[in-house]
């Protein structure tokens, strides 16, 4: 037994004497930061620990070595940069059975299309939004870029119009492809650490109609997403790609050329979203819109929230893109605000 203990001591005491300090691990983190330096960082840890390799975890950031007390003073464990798993901001999916217009449009038109009558439209209808997204590729050109496919649908349903057979009055279909990236240069700029990513998107938006009621447009969108889990914002600006036979050539003067969406977690179960859009023009082309959404839940409702919405301005729907209106809605929402 004594010989066995002596052999174990001879094997382990030299390694313990040469144990790495927390400063050594911090130097590994500083020399090989972020997702791009993960492999080199693990190799550096392995050299300090005297092993051939350190296995990467299946998911999540690399675990930091435990704190080692030195000279009676406790040191904090090494902190590694977290990964950002939601790079594209999305909206809540909601259903508003009561969505009321104070001054509904009775005639819809555009410079290239004759008027379309909506005299049977009731001022109170239902509205719902479906927002889906999927990351289809990552690390395409760098270690911090992603490609997303998204689909958004907003529908206005004359749910309470029994005499008119409760028709779907208007639907907007919006597929989009978004490329997001995060340049390392941002970390060196004042406040750059708040920027989660930059992006560029190709967007198509159409109401799916033909003839005089057709409304559609294509956009190239530049965007920036910044903030944290309790407050974040998305700033977008876009260019209208015109067509030879454009359904609505003046849509940017009404719907806008840029928007800012801000989201606040007032409490863990109360979320406020504010949106502002503008045409970025003056004079009689000075138009835009504002929207506020408040969603809150209780412990027994889970992810189902009571949802309130207010809208004032142009472009609440595609068919009414050039109509100035005021709207109120109440209903339910489901999903994540991030």
Residue 268 in tokens = 């863990």
Show Cβ contacts of residue 47 under 8 Å, excluding neighbours closer than 6 positions: none
CA distance linking residue 216 with residue 173, whole number of Å? 9
**Is 105 an annotated catalytic residue?**
no
- Known catalytic residue at 204: yes
User: What's the angle, vertex CA 176, arms to CA 92 and CA 242, rounded to 5?
Assistant: 125
d(CA 197, CA 84): 9
Kind of pairing between the strands at 168-181 and 231-241: unpaired
> What is d(CA 311, CA 103) in angstroms, rounded to the nearest whole number?
12
Angle ∠(19,38,336) on CA atoms, nearest 5? 125
One of 32, 100, 204, 278 is an active-site residue; which one? 204
Q: Annotated catalytic residue: which of 206, 216, 279, 323?
A: 206
Distance from the Cα of residue 227 to its chain's centroid: 11
Q: Nearest-CA neighbor of 246 among 221, 219, 222, 220?
A: 219
Question: Active-site positions?
Answer: 204, 206
């Amino acid at each position: 037994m004594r010989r066995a203990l002596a052999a174990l001591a001879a094997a382990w005491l030299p390694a313990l004497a040469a144990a790495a300090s927390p400063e050594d691990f911090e130097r590994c983190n500083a020399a090989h930061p972020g997702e791009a330096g993960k492999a080199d960082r693990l190799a550096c840890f392995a050299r300090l620990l005297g092993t051939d390799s350190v296995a990467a975890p299946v998911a999540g950031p690399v675990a930091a070595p435990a704190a080692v007390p030195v000279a009676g003073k406790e040191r904090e464990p090494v902190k590694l940069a977290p990964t950002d798993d939601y790079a594209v901001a999305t909206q809540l999916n909601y259903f508003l059975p009561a969505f009321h217009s104070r001054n509904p449009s009775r005639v819809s038109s555009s410079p290239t299309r004759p008027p379309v009558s909506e005299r049977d439209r009731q001022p109170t209808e239902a509205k719902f939004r479906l927002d889906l997204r999927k990351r289809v590729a990552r690390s395409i050109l760098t270690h911090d870029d992603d490609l997303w496919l998204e689909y958004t649908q907003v529908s206005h349903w004359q749910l309470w119009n029994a005499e008119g057979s409760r028709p779907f009055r208007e639907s907007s279909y919006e597929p989009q492809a978004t490329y997001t990236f995060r340049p390392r240069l941002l970390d060196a700029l004042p406040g750059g650490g708040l920027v989660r990513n930059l992006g560029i998107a190709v967007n198509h938006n159409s109401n799916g109609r033909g003839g005089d009621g057709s409304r559609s447009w294509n956009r190239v969108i530049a965007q920036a997403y910044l903030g944290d889990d309790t407050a974040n914002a998305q700033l977008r600006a876009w260019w209208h790609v015109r067509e030879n036979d454009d359904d609505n050539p003046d849509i940017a003067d009404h719907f806008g050329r840029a928007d800012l969406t801000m989201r606040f977690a007032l409490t863990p179960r109360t979320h406020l979203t504010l949106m502002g859009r503008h045409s970025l023009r003056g004079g009689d082309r000075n138009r835009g819109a504002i929207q506020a959404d408040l969603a809150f839940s209780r412990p027994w409702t889970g992810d189902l929230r009571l949802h309130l919405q207010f809208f004032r301005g142009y472009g609440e729907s595609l068919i009414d893109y050039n109509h100035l209106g005021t709207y109120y809605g109440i209903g339910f929402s489901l999903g994540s605000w991030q």
